[in-house]
Structure 1
Amino acid sequence: MNDLKVGVIGIGNMGSLHVLHLNTGRINGAKVTAVCDGSKERLEWVKNHTTGTIKLFQDEEAFFNEADIDAVIIATPHYTHPETAVNAFSKNMHVLVEKPAGVYTKNVLEMNQAAKESGKVFSIVYNQRTNPLYQKVRSLIQSGELGEIKRTNWIITDWYRSQSYYDSSEWRATWKGEGGGVLLNQAPHQLDLWQWTTGIMPKRIQAFCSIGKYHNIEVEDEVTAYAEYENGATGVFITSTGEAPGTNRFEIAGDRGKIVVENEELTFYRLTQSEREFNASYKGDFGQPECWKINIPITGENLGHIGIIQNWTDAILHSTPLIAPGEEGIKALEIANAIYLSSWLNKKVELPIDAALYYEKLQGKINHSILR
């Protein structure tokens, strides 16, 4: 079978990386044959940093109609992900979309429906799902080793960004340009892993977003969210771009112990007996279940972006199951939208959220954005 002909639309930081991966033979069975970007300078970069024949387009419609590609990687600004994907599906193309799936769930639902109707392979660049560390966490939970989940807690504050970072581009950290701050730009991977490893979505969320607490920006740079789950479990998610040094610590407590992920290490505090069973049967005063501290070895390579692109290619060519189905992109976005909406309304919100209400509130933010 001939190599899959892939186009890349959006040649920013991530798009240029995808072009290089495809052009240097790091993806088996696929090659980049066309790119699209509105900037002549970015197209010139492609010309100067790649080999072979790659068609260059500034116009999106010309790209989709004339590029002669089988599949497309979308690395355009956040707001355009769904509409660009819908366009690609209408042209009978397979799609790999960068995170986040979009900015609001209303049009991401439309993207997912278009993907379903097209029958094409649809994936999202949740590259942290290729990390053996989080794959092991998911395996321990899904296998029942941890028992029923009681609590989750993720502190992810090692996203430090200086004011100069935000000042480097006028679209950064604006409601009109990005659609949000740390939740939409830095933390989507953790929001995805939060639900992917545990296998559960929050039922309701109460959240607090601090706008420009540490930076001169119009969006949030610190978030604290409290989640409640259907089974009575609770969770806390804390993230910031204003802490140095930051922390990355993920805890999941269950009926059979506790999992802690920190410093790229996985520790399982495993109970020899279910806490609920111990609680019901123990007759002493201050006893507790016996606990073994187990340092779980992590083997395998974290393939990152290459792993996701390769998996998407293999799914197209060989029907390999997807690591990150594109339709699942809405889950992390649903959590992010719920966090924003709770903060804006100053109350708990139920999931799934009122997508129309969120869209209305977001439009108000966009209308007052400093980016015109």
Structure 2
Amino acid sequence: MRKMRIGVIGIGNMGSAHALSLFKNEIAGAELTALCDAIPERLQWAKETFDESVQIFDHTEAFFASSSFDGIIIATPHYDHPELAIRAFELGLHVLCEKPAGVYTKQVRQMNEAAKASGKVFSMMYNQRTNPLYLKLKEMIDAGELGEIRRTNWIITNWFRPQSYYDSGTWRATWAGEGGGVLINQDPHQLDLWQWTTSMMPKRVRAACYFGKYRNIEVEDDVTAFVEYENGATGVFVTTTGEAPGTNRFEICGDLGKIVIEDGKLTFWRLHMSAPEFNRSFTGKFGQPEHTVIEIPIEGKESAHNGIIQNWVDAVIEGVPLLAPGEEGINGLMLSNAMLLSAWTDNWVDLPIDEDLFYEQLQARINESQSKKLISHETR
């Protein structure tokens, strides 16, 4: 393969950025050869921005029929991700999908099965996995520096969005258009990192989701979830788009101390003796293990979206391991689906979730969605 030829479906905010990166040769070993979108304004922008080397299509049928690419980047509305990916795999194409993997795990599972059957390279746009802070955190946890994890806690509330943001597109913050609110739109990266850095998925979830609490929208804009892990550890995830100033603090506690990521820093409270060992040996009335506070130096820079695209291209051409395998997109989505299902049923939800029940509950809300008939021609 001389260069990997890439087509981009959906040239809204993210798709246009990916297209420009490819066109400007910012991705080694890749070239942009095709674009597809249904919105006339975006098509006009593409015609004015790119030269004749890039084919432009207004319909996916013609786009796929062109055979002018070896792989595609999917940057369309959420519901379309699995359907387009499955079509691409059936045609023998490699796929890089924008987050989230989809709206409901039942459909995403079908996408994963199609990817496996195709043997093609499938990656997810989890660009935060290139952030040195989270790479270092995962490295430390994998090396056992925290010992056994006992608690995780992520407060991610710096997503403030005004009503004008939601009013900017009829698809925004609707069950029919997005399939959810803060969990599906703002939080996919955190939900991915939460389980990726710790290598732990909860065994069950109990969540309180508030729908249209702060804004005139029909989906969730305030969530507090409590999770339990197989080893007895617990976790809390708090998020909203209605709070200012917001917080972004990820804390993980283990037998050997705790790590906190906040304000671009990774701080490690390292115990001199493990908590269980201290408990067994200490005989006084009050006491706790001594510790040292260490600000861990972080090396490297976040390569972000281009880093994930480059990794995907390198995986296709050179066989390098994927940083964000597409099949792992179901994990973060499983967490958000579980939180919504817990709120809808007012009960604990075991993981993996009852996918048929979630789909049934989601469809009921889609059928009542105010924007059901308005979002079919909009992209991100």
TM over 0.5: yes
Measured in 1, the distance between the counterparts of 2:316 and 2:67 equals 19
- Give yes or no for the alignment of 1:19 onto 2:19: yes
**Which shows bigger deviation, 65-74 or 153-162?**
65-74
Given the alignment of the two structures, is residue 354 of structure 1 paired with residue 354 of structure 2, yes or no? yes
Amino acid of the residue matched to residue 222 of structure 1? D
- Which stretch has the larger CA shift, 362-371 or 64-73? 64-73
Alpha carbons 1:34, 1:67 under 8 Å: kept: no
Secondary structure of the residue that 1:266 maps to in structure 2? strand
Aligned to 1:157: 157
Amino acid at match of 1:146: L
**Cα distance in 1, alignment partners of residues 337 and 280 from structure 2:** 40
Deviations 1:78-124 (A, max 9, x none): 00100100000011000000000000000100000000000000000
Deviations 1:118-139 (A, max 9, x none): 0000000000000000000111
Alpha-carbon separation, structure 1, partners of 2:370 and 2:3: 45
User: Deviation string for 1:128-169 (max 9, x for gaps)?
Assistant: 000000000111111100000000000000000000000000
Report the Cα distance in structure 2 between the residues aligned to 1:34 and 1:74, rounded to whole angstroms: 12
Structure 1 residue 67, shift from structure 2 partner: 4.0
Residue 220 (structure 1) aligned with residue 220 (structure 2): yes
Q: 1: CA distance between counterparts of 2:134 and 2:51?
A: 36
Q: In the alignment, which residue of structure 2 is the partner of 1:142?
A: 142
- SS of match in other structure, 1:252: strand
Aligned residue pairs, count:
372
| Aligned residues of 1:223 and 1:240 also touching (Cα < 8 A) | yes
In 2, Cα distance between the equivalents of 1:358 and 1:194? 22
Distance 1:143 1:47 in 2: 50
Deviation at 1:41, TM superposition (A): 1.6
Quote the offset at 1:47 in angstroms: 1.9
Query: Could you say which residue in structure 1 is the equivalent of 2:10?
Result: 10
TM superposition shift of 1:342? 0.1
Secondary structure of the residue aligned to 1:78 is: coil
Alignment-mate amino acid for residue 99 of structure 1 = K
Q: Distance in 1 between matches of 2:50 and 2:3?
A: 17
Residue 231 of structure 1 corresponds to: 231
Query: What residue in structure 2 maps to residue 292 of structure 1?
Result: 292
Is 1:206 aligned to residue 206 of structure 2?
yes
Alignment-derived partner of residue 122 in structure 1? 122
How much does 1:247 deviate?
A: 0.2
1:256 corresponds to = 256
Q: Tell me how far apart the structure 2 counterparts of residues 38 and 50 of structure 1 sit (CA, whole Å).
A: 17
**Mean alpha-carbon deviation: is it higher for 47-56 or for 207-216?**
47-56
- TM-aligned CA deviation for residue 49 of structure 1: 2.1
The aligned counterpart of 1:89 is: 89
Partner in structure 1 of residue 377 of structure 2? none
Query: For residues 269-323 of structure 1, what are the alpha-carbon distances to aligned partners after superposition, in whole Å with 9 as ceiling and x for unaligned?
Result: 0001111011011111211111000000111010000000000000000000000
Question: How far does residue 228 in structure 1 lie from its aligned partner after superposition?
Answer: 0.3
Q: Residue 48 in 1 paired to residue 57 in 2?
A: no
* Counterpart residue identity of residue 151, structure 2: R
Other-structure match for 2:79: 79
Q: CA RMSD in A?
A: 0.7
| Alignment-derived partner of residue 323 in structure 1 | 323
Secondary structure of 2:79's match?
helix
Structure 1 distance, partners of 2:48, 2:147, is 54
Give 3-state SS (helix, strand or coil) of 1:339's partner: helix
Stretches of 4+ aligned residues off by more than 6 angstroms: none
Q: Which amino acid aligns with 2:218?
A: E
8 Å contact kept, 1:257–1:271: yes
The Cα offsets for residues 158-210 of structure 1, whole Å up to 9 and x where unpaired, read as 00000000000011000000000000000000000000010000100000111
Identity %: 62
Q: How far apart, in 1, do the equivalents of 2:243 and 2:70 lie?
A: 44
Given that residues 23 and 51 in structure 1 are in contact (C-alpha distance below 8 angstroms), is that contact kept between their aligned partners in structure 2?
Answer: no
Q: What is the rounded CA distance, in whole Å, between the counterparts of 1:79 and 1:52 in structure 2?
A: 31
Instruction: Give CA deviations for 1:9-49 in whole Å, capped at 9, x if unaligned.
Output: 01110000000110001100001100011112211111222
Please give the per-residue CA displacement for 1:235-278, whole angstroms capped at 9, x wherever unaligned.
Answer: 00000000111000000000000000100100000001111011
CA distance in 2, matches of 1:321, 1:291: 37
Q: Which amino acid aligns with 1:319?
A: G
Cα pair 1:5 1:33 within 8 Å, conserved: yes
Shift in Å, 1:3: 1.1
Instruction: Identify unmatched segments of 5+ residues in structure 2.
Output: 374-380
* Structure-2 separation of matches of 1:87 and 1:8: 14
Distance 2:59 2:48 in 1: 20
What are the superposed Cα offsets for residues 55-88 of structure 1, whole Å, 9 maximum, x if unpaired? 0111101101114110000001000100100000
> What TM-score, normalized by structure 1, do the two folds share?
0.99
Q: Secondary structure of the residue that 1:320 maps to in structure 2?
A: coil
Residue 52 of structure 1 and its aligned partner are, at CA, apart by: 5.2
* Gap change, CA 1:18 and 1:204, over 3 Å in 2: same
Amino acid at match of 2:241: T
> Which residue identity lines up with residue 227 of structure 1 in the other structure?
V
Distance 1:44 1:33 in 2: 17
State the alpha-carbon separation in 2 of the partners of residues 42 and 31 from structure 1: 20
Query: How far apart, CA to CA, are the structure 1 residues paired with 2:141 and 2:89?
Result: 35
Partner of 2:342: 342
1:242 maps to a residue whose letter is G
